[in-house]
Every structure is written in C-alpha cells, then in structure tokens.
C-alpha cells in the first residue's frame, strides 16, 4: 500500500483520478491539493464523493504524486517532488515533448529542461519498458493517444505513405477542462459542431513525435480537432495511402495480432466501427478500420474516453507499471453503456 497525492485536483482529470484511486487496492489517497479550493473539503467541490472521502485540499506525507496542473504550473513543482524522492505522473504537457525548443515554440519557456530527457512518455502500449523504470512519466495528451494507437500497426509494418497522413479528431467538451470558458459554455456547445485550433493545435507536435518514433524518421501530419456537443469522448479518423493493396480483413487481422496482448486496446471485426459510447467511463481504446480500394487509402477510426484513457485512466495505468503492479489494477471496469 502506498500513499498518493493528487496535486491540482479540482478539475475533471483530478476527479477521475480520485474516483479510480478510491477503488484501487494498493493505494490510499492521503493528499489532495488545489490552490483555488484550499481549506475546502473535497466532497464540497465534488458532491459525487460525499461520504467516500473526508479530506480537505491540504498537503500531507505521500509516496507517489499525480500532478493534474495546467501547463507551466506543473514544471514549477515537479522538480521539488523528484528531489524529495517521490515518483510523479504529470498530466500536463510540460514533459511530453522531447525537444525543449519545440515545446517552447508551442507552449512557453521551460523552467526545468534538464528533466525533459529523463521523463518517460506514458503511452504503455508503445513505451512500456521505459515507463517501468521511470520516476517521472509524462502522461500523453488525449488526441495523441487516440492517433498513435490507431496508426502504430500500419507504421511499424510500413504499410502507409507517411506523407499522406490526415487526422480528423473530435472531442467532448470536458476536453477543455472545468474552468469557465466562453467556447465551452452550454449554449456555445449544445446543438453545435465546429473545428478549432486548425493548423495550430498544441497536440500536433506530440502526435508527430510519437509517429516519428514508430517510423524511425520525422513525420508531418495534417491534424484538425473538432468540438462535439457531448460531455466526454474522442473519436479520431485517420486517413493514409497504402503502400500496397490490402483488404480490410487482412488489416483487421494485422491489428488484432499487433494488439493481441494489450488489455486496453480492442479491435472491432470487419464491417464494424467504434462509437465513443462504447468506451465511456473506461480505460479502453476501440479501433475499427476500412480499406478503400477505390482510393487506395485506409481509414482507421479510434475512440477513447478523453478523461480516462486520454488522461486519468492512463495515469493510473502508468502508476501501476512504475510500481511493478498488474497494469490493469483498478482499471478493468467495463464502459458505461448506454
């Protein structure tokens, strides 16, 4: 049993971490912090936790830390936690990009660049061995998780033209966080559907970094995110030109073999495509695909819950690896459907 802290726990990812860790058999939450809610009880901020947790937002002694802070705020506190001998899973973008200059181009100046090379990128299906020995894990973004899992089998088997990649993703409104923002207000989102961050979304270099790692060379992607009028969920549709003709059934079999031992990646049979409703409230990524002989392209559709496999669920999966526990501990609940 280890004592765990969630730093910056007043947002949606913080709530999901609390919900998951309350059911984890090897964890006790002993510290929850929030600058804006300091001194308040956790259940007063999250009424769904009434009678389940009696902590207030205030620090105590801990062994393992999740930082659910905004970008820049995380890099200010993570070095101190590591110096104190703690293990950290950081849910911000502060340690995801391997090139500090790229990070500073898309975000802001980095105050602890010496830790960037050390941080393991926390996508277990691709970087599991590095995560196991890490003391700092950079939890991936939600869009990059959905895209990397959708394209990894094709890239590793050199079946697509990397210059042809187009990614079209949609996210529920919780992807914008819990703070009040005009663009995510109910009347702004309800009955609407829009693209945003076109050609400039901050997850673009993270997507390209992971796909480049898989390919062994730089990859450039056309990435367009959209905002869906739903609470949670991401659906990414990835398009690429095949380097050789392949039938849909052949590619489905390829994906099934590639992810055969991955408990949180599920491949739909030929003729079926995933829906965000199929993964809601779970740590699963569902993938379906179609080979289009008319255009010579393959279309891969992946879905995740942006707050679970796209954030808090994957963070717990990473903690399990770092602690040497079963990777699925506390995460194997089925999705909520309908």
pLDDT in tens, 123-160: 999 999 999 999 999 999 999 999 999 999 999 999 99
- With beta carbons less than 8 A apart as the criterion, state whether 219 and 166 touch: no
SS (H, E, C) 204-239: HHHHHHHHHHHHCCCCCCEEEEEECCCCCCEEEEEE
Choose the weakest-confidence range: 2-11, 96-105, 207-216.
Answer: 2-11
**Tokens 């367009």, located at residue:** 224
Specify the pLDDT at position 181. 74
Q: What are the phi and psi torsion angles at 10 (to 5°)?
A: -95, 5
Task: Specify the 3-state DSSP secondary structure of 44.
Answer: helix
| Sign for the pseudo-dihedral over CA of 3, 8, 13, 16 | positive
Specify the pLDDT at position 187. 84
Read out DSSP for 292-318?
ETTTTEEEEEEEE-TTIIIIIHHHHHH
What would the mean pLDDT of 17-37 be, rounded to a whole number? 91
Q: Which two tokens stand for residue 214?
A: 């898989």
Specify the pLDDT at position 10. 84
Cis before 338? omega within 30: yes
Checking 218-223 for CB contacts under 8 A at 24+ apart, the result is 219/162, 219/165, 220/163, 220/165, 221/147, 221/165, 221/166, 221/167, 222/165, 222/166, 222/167, 223/143, 223/147, 223/167, 223/169
What would the mean pLDDT of 87-114 be, rounded to a whole number? 97
**60 pLDDT exceeds 70?**
no
Task: Specify the 3-state DSSP secondary structure of 191.
Answer: coil
Specify the pLDDT at position 314. 98
2-140+309-322: CATH architecture:
3-Layer(aba) Sandwich (3.40)
- Model confidence at 8, in pLDDT bands (50, 70, 90)? confident
Q: What percent of the chain has pLDDT over 90?
A: 83
- With beta carbons less than 8 A apart as the criterion, state whether 112 and 145 touch: no
**243 pLDDT exceeds 90?**
yes
Specify the pLDDT at position 178. 65
Q: Residues, the chain, total?
A: 338
pLDDT in tens, 189-232: 899 999 999 999 999 999 999 999 999 999 999 999 999 999 99
CA distance 78 to 94: 10
**51 pLDDT exceeds 90?**
no
**β 166-171/222-227 pair status:** parallel
Q: What percent of the chain has pLDDT over 70?
A: 98
Q: Which two tokens stand for residue 3?
A: 């004592």
**306 pLDDT exceeds 90?**
yes
Q: What are the phi and psi torsion angles at 287 (to 5°)?
A: -130, 135
- Model confidence at 182, in pLDDT bands (50, 70, 90)? confident
**59 pLDDT exceeds 70?**
no
Taking the model in full, what pTM does it have?
0.93
**β 265-267/222-227 pair status:** unpaired
Query: What's the Rg (C-alpha) of the chain?
Result: 19
Give CATH superfamily name and number for 142-305.
Answer: Dihydrodipicolinate Reductase; domain 2 (3.30.360.10)
Q: Do domains 2-140+309-322 and 142-305 have the same CATH topology?
A: no
Q: Is 187 a catalytic residue?
A: no
- Model confidence at 180, in pLDDT bands (50, 70, 90)? low
- With beta carbons less than 8 A apart as the criterion, state whether 137 and 78 touch: no
> What are the boundaries of each domain within the chain?
2-140+309-322, 142-305
Specify the pLDDT at position 174. 82
Distance of CA 49 to the CA centre of its chain: 24
Specify the pLDDT at position 338. 80
User: Which is catalytic among the residues 31, 142, 238, 285?
Assistant: 142
Specify the pLDDT at position 105. 96
Read out DSSP for 106-155?
HS---S-GGGTTTPEE--HHHHHHHHHT-SEEEPPPHHHHHHHHHHHHHH
């Amino acid at each position: 049993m280890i004592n765990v802290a969630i730093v910056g726990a007043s947002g949606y990812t913080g709530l999901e971490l609390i919900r998951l860790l309350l059911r984890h058999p090897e964890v006790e939450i002993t510290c929850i912090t929030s600058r804006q809610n300091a001194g308040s009880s956790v259940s007063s901020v999250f009424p769904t936790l009434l009678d389940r947790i009696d902590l207030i937002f205030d620090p105590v002694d801990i062994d393992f830390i999740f930082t659910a802070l905004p970008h820049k705020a995380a890099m200010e506190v993570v070095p101190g936690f590591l110096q104190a001998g703690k293990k950290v899973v950081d849910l911000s973008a502060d340690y995801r990009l391997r090139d500090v200059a790229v990070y500073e181009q898309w975000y802001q100046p980095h105050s602890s660049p010496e830790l960037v090379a050390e941080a393991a990128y926390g996508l277990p299906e691709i970087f599991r061995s590095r995560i196991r020995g890490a003391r700092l894990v950079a939890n991936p973004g939600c869009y990059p998780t959905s895209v990397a899992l959708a394209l990894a089998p094709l890239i590793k088997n050199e079946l697509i033209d990397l210059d042809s990649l187009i990614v079209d993703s949609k996210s529920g409104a919780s992807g914008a966080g819990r703070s009040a923002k005009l663009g995510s207000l109910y009347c702004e989102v309800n009955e609407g559907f829009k693209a945003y961050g076109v050609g400039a979304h901050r997850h673009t270099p993270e997507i390209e970094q992971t796909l480049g790692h898989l390919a062994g060379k730089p990859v450039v992607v056309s990435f367009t995110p959209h905002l869906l009028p739903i609470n949670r969920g991401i659906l990414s549709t990835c398009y690429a030109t095949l380097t050789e003709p392949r039938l849909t059934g052949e590619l489905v079999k390829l994906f099934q073999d590639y992810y055969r031992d991955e408990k949180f990646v599920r491949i739909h049979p030929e003729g079926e495509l995933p829906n965000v409703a199929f993964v809601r409230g779970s740590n699963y990524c569902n993938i379906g695909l179609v080979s289009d002989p008319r255009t010579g392209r393959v279309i891969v559709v992946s879905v995740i819950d942006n707050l679970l496999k796209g954030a808090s669920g994957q963070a717990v999966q990473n903690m399990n690896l770092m602690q040497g526990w079963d990777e699925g501990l506390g995460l194997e609940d089925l999705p909520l459907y309908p």
